[in-house]
Each structure stands twice: as structure tokens, then as C-alpha cells.
Amino acid sequence: MSQKNKEKQYFGTDGIRGTVGRYPITPDFMLKLGWAAGKVFASNDKGRSKILIGKDTRISGYMFEAALEAGLTSAGVDINLLGPMPTPAVAYLTRTFYAQAGIVISASHNPYDDNGIKFFSGDGTKLPDEVEFEIEEYLARDITTVDSRYIGKASRINDASGRYIEYCKSTIVSDIRLGGLKVVVDCAHGSTYHIASSVFRELGATVKTIGASPDGLNINDACGSTAPEQLVREVLAEGADLGIAFDGDGDRVIMVDHLGNVVDGDEILYVIARDRRRRNIAFGGLVGTQMSNLGLQLGLEALDIPFVRASVGDRYVMSELKARGWQLGGESSGHVICLDVASTGDGIVAALQALSAIVSGETSLYDLRTKMSKFPQTMINVRFSGKSSPLSNPRVQEAVKAVESQLGRKGRVLLRLSGTEPLVRVMVEGEDESLVNRLAQELADSVREAVA
């Protein structure tokens, strides 16, 4: 079977992820995964291989770090341990240390009892499919240890956070200073807890930090980009100019303006794109996803900025960007990719691009976000059973056409299957919120009737 038609057993769109203690998120699997990855990268490199390992603040990270270390060294690979470090920092440091790969132990925005593994190639991008397939092939074999003289060594990089802080600061032009800005930063008790505030403070901002006391269990717990309510309260209480919230591994960012309005990834993308156009910085166009708000699309059209949609997932956004030679893309969830300054989605870097737009334009986040009219959007999940997809049901297709005809160009309908559960996600968006809610419910009812 060709790899094109083959399905991966372990790797998903964003690495390997699940509940701690349930296969494959177990110490024995991580030991073998480390060995398998070590064999692949050792065989693909002419010299002695080196792999970096970073993690977020979950308590299980210690356990999996040790297991990966044993597996990798048994395959003859040297390791540099980074400790708690944002996912995009591992991507950056993998490049700067000329390592063969980088590994992140993280489940991103999930609660503490989940964990996972993400890999980066030597150039700081996600692994190609063929490398993931090769690792899975080794996972089916028995572990063999290299001769003792070739066993890998492990060492710790003590200045990793300082290197990454300087890199983040370098992604905006040198004459941009954040002096005069009062910012609240929510680190989600995750891997940005010892980094993010330093970046903004060293650039001149006055910073109030929350969500920066990780205990191994509180990562993403009622805080961070997936739960910005606490950040909203702090911004209003502090009279801050804006707030910035990251997720547990620092690759997502959500912002809050001075009035307490949440600014999502679509709006952040618009702010950055508009600023690049204003300053005549070439970036090609912008890649969103099927879930990107119609308001983003229309706002970019008004600026004569090309826009295309990729499948949901930053992996697909990245693929589309590279295929088109464009520089900017992302998702409403807060994944923002700026390929002119970073090799992957980076929450801190994206926030700096938005702050640069605010400072250089002598305006506010509120003023910038209101240049784009965000459309009301309603999502309803409909569970189904059976192997056949409800999306191909003629009754469902007719119902979709009926809703689309009512919305016209000022609205959008999307039905898509969940990648993890037997669910149809029914999404309707348009100018009139009450109409959107009613049509979404009617369409969801049509799907339920068709699968009953």
C-alpha cells in the first residue's frame, strides 16, 4: 500500500495526543517512541544525531521526558533538554542548535490529565508524512540498544529561555517600543509563564501577569486563550490598554481590548494583514480555514488582499501557505502563522505583530478590530451512528441549499464531520444573529431527521 493511501496508526494532524495512562500516552509507549524516532533520525543523518526536548507544565511531563530520554539515548542519539518551553520556542531552538529534530511534550490547550508529543524537523517545521510513517514502522519492531560506546548523552540548555526571548523581540522592527502600553498577560499556567511577560516588559510595556503559577495540575484551568473571562476582568480592573492570553503550550493567542471585548484569531489576523498592507510589506495573501469568519474574508476583500480557505488545522494552513508562497495565515482559535518571522504558529510572535500595528499606527486594539465587521456564527453538533456520512444524504444537501439561498452572499453554511467523534458540526453565519440562530437550528434538525 502506498503511503498516500495508508493511514497512520498513532500520528494525528498535530502529533500524538490522548489521556495520560491510556495507550498510547503511557511510559512504555513513550520509551519505544523515543527509540523509534532516534533510529529514524540517526539513520537519516551522517554524523551523530542531536534532538531537543521541551515540555509544558503538566505533571506528567517529567515522566514522559524521562521515558523519551531513555529511548532516544538507547538508539544512539544525544539529547538537549530545554525544560518548560513554548512549542514554537522548541521549533526555533531546533533550528538554531542545528538539531536533527525537536520534540515537545504537550497537549496544547487540553486539561492537565491529557498529554501528547509533537515533533519538529531540523528546519523548525512539522514532520513530513513520510518521516511519521517511518517512525511508525520502527514502532512495530523490537527495541535494540546500540553498543554501549555509542549510547547517547543528555545535557541541559540553561539559557534556552533567554535565547527565545531575544528572538521574539527581534521579530518586530527595532524602532518599535511598547512604552506607554499597559498590558495584562495570561500565561494559562503553561509554558509561557517564565517568558511572555519578560518579552513585553523588556520592550517597554507595563505588564500585569496572571496565570503564571503552574503546579502541574492547573494548566489551562479556567484561564488562558480558551477561557479569557479572567483576563477580561483583569483588563477592566487594571484599566489596561489590552490583554493577551496564551494557551498551555504558547502556540495560540487571544487578545482583549480596553473595553473587555475578546479579539479572536480571525481579528488578530486582520489587524496584522491590514498593518502589513499599510506599511507596504509584501506577504502575498492570507490563508484561513473553513471556520474563518466571513467578516474576515469580506474585510480582506475591501483591502484587496487575497484570501483562501484551507481545511481546519494549522497543518493545512501551513501547507496552503507554502504552496502559494504566502506569509500570513491562521485560525480563529488563535493559531497565527507569520512565515516572514517564524517557521510555525507562535502566540508571542503573533501578539507582537499586533502590538506593532497598534504602536506604529498610533491607535488602539479596539479601533483596529472594529475595522472588520465580524459576523454572528452559530455552531451545533449533531451526533449520528452508522458508517455512511450524513453529508451525502440528499435531504441534508437540499436543506443546506435552502439555507444558503436565504443567506445569499451575506452568509455562509458549513457542515463538516468531527475528526474524533461521530458528530456533524453544523455551522451557520450571517449578518442577522437571530436569523443565523434560527437557520442553524433548522439545519441541525434536518440533519437529525436524516440520520434518525
Catalytic residues: 108
CA distances from 81 to 52, 73, 268, 290 (A): 6, 12, 33, 37
> 425, 396 in Cβ contact below 8 A?
no
Comparing CA positions, the residue from 354, 350, 306 lying closest to residue 331 is 350
Asked whether the CA dihedral 342, 343, 347, 353 is positive or negative, the reply is: positive
Name the residue type at position 421. E
Question: Looking at 36-129, which runs of residues are DSSP E strands?
Answer: 50-55, 78-84, 101-105, 114-121
C-alpha cell at 126: 512539522
Question: Distance (Å, rounded) from C-alpha 379 to C-alpha 290?
Answer: 13
Strand-strand pairing, 154-156 and 286-289: unpaired
Residue from 364, 357, 350, 356 nearest 257 by CA: 364
Distance CA 377, CA 379 (A): 7
Peptide bond into 24 cis (omega under 30): yes
Joined together, the cell numbers standing for residue 412 give: 455562509
Amino acid at 375: F
Q: What is the CA radius of gyration of the chain?
A: 23
The DSSP output letter for 81 is: E
Distance between CA 24 and CA 114 in Å, rounded? 11
Contacts of 344 by beta carbon, 8 Å cutoff, 6+ apart: 87, 88, 91, 120, 124, 125, 126, 251, 318, 337
CB 100 within 8 A of CB 173: no
